[in-house]
Amino acid sequence: MASNLADQLAIEPLGLGKYQSKHFPPRGGNSAPIGYGGFTLAIALQAAIASVPAAFHLYSFMGNYLGPVSTKRKIICSVQETRSTRTFMTRRVQVLQEKDNGQPTFICLDMLADFQIAEPALLTYSAPPRREYSHWKGCVSMDTRRQQMLDAGQITSTQSRIFETTFGGLRDFKYESRICPESMTSQTLVGMNKDQPTTQDHLPLVERSSADWFRAIGDLKTPVDNLAALSFIMDGMLSFLPLAHSRHFFDEVDACSSLDFAFRIFTPNVNLNNWHLRECITHAGGFGRTFSEGRVWDEAGTLIASMTQQSILRPKAKKLKHNL
């Protein structure tokens, strides 16, 4: 068991252009033995960074999830050089995993990572969050929020157990998170209480938001550790955010998972040993897919990164009624 986030996301070299995760993928918001997508991103990101000189800084990291990873096997990264100039470098990373019963490996993630030498800025600016949120000192963990709602009679003991089964694996993630009380996900417990009134009920779906403060557990010592941790954390929530913001839950869907991602970093100076604010919103939905975004600011209010994802959101198939 990893003692901190840097160790949880560590990689091991296997040879030229090949790397392996030190640990097995952890389970995320899923009761099945399916690995958390943010773990796959973090491993791939580190493999890409390991293939370029330290003077180059990651600014764009995007690709497609091609299939779920198992929690029972480590994942392997294969890195290919696609561009190397004096200013820019690009690397393609494919993440692979062995199938059951010794079957051949399959590609579960295919992505491109772009790097740039640090250059002087003509303009420096940063957009703020959509609304004001409570400071991290006034926020509580999701576990504490679940207990608060249970004690207040806002969720039942059955709902509390379902929530624990669905999200209990998140406790193994080596970072601390405190959800802002202004969030839809806080007020409905991620959609668990579909009838709970919220302070955002008057807003259209695309203007509703959820936010939390987070920081790493254990000291992150290097820029690579911090970027890997950031990608790991920012992958979370986006696939099921539209459900929670529209008063639905997992019991109403047959599939809810990320299809692609675009992770953009706006500064090379990321320090997740300090508290950061994440705000999540959804922009569009239709044809079985959703498009959502998470943005992260440091405590000084500087926007440091954005993660956008399209996700599959497939409603449960209707049961056919047969006449006798």
- For 91-144, write each residue's pLDDT tens digit: 999 999 987 766 668 899 999 999 999 999 999 999 999 999 999 999 999 999
pTM: 0.92
pLDDT tens by residue, 298-321: 999 999 999 999 999 999 887 655
For residues 12 and 41, what is the distance between their CA atoms, to the nearest angstrom? 15
252-274 confidence digits (pLDDT tens): 899 999 999 999 999 999 999 99
Mean pLDDT of the chain: 92
pLDDT above 70 coverage of the chain, percent:
95
| pLDDT attached to residue 3 | 76
Domain boundaries, the chain: 5-117+133-315
Model pLDDT for residues 146-183, shown as the tens digit of each residue: 999 999 999 999 999 998 888 876 677 889 999 999 99
- Among the listed residues 253, 292, 231, 270, the one whose alpha carbon sits nearest the alpha carbon of residue 95: 231
3-class DSSP state of 268: coil
The separation between the first and the last C-alpha atoms of the chain, rounded to the nearest angstrom, is: 56
> Which structure tokens are listed for 107?
């590609």
Which element (helix H / strand E) includes 41? helix 37-50
Q: What pLDDT score was predicted for residue 31? A: 59
Banded model confidence at residue 324, pLDDT cuts 50, 70, 90: very low
Q: How many residues does the chain have?
A: 324
pLDDT digits (tens, 9 = 90+) for 19-60: 999 999 987 766 567 888 999 999 999 999 999 999 999 999
Cα Rg for the chain, rounded, in angstroms? 20
CATH superfamily of 5-117+133-315: Acyl-CoA thioesterase, double hotdog domain (2.40.160.210)
Task: Tell me the C-alpha distance between 40 and 73, whole Å.
Answer: 12
Taking alpha carbons only, the member of 235, 270, 261, 312 closest to residue 39 is 235
CA distances from 219 to 4, 171, 216, 225 (A): 8, 18, 7, 9
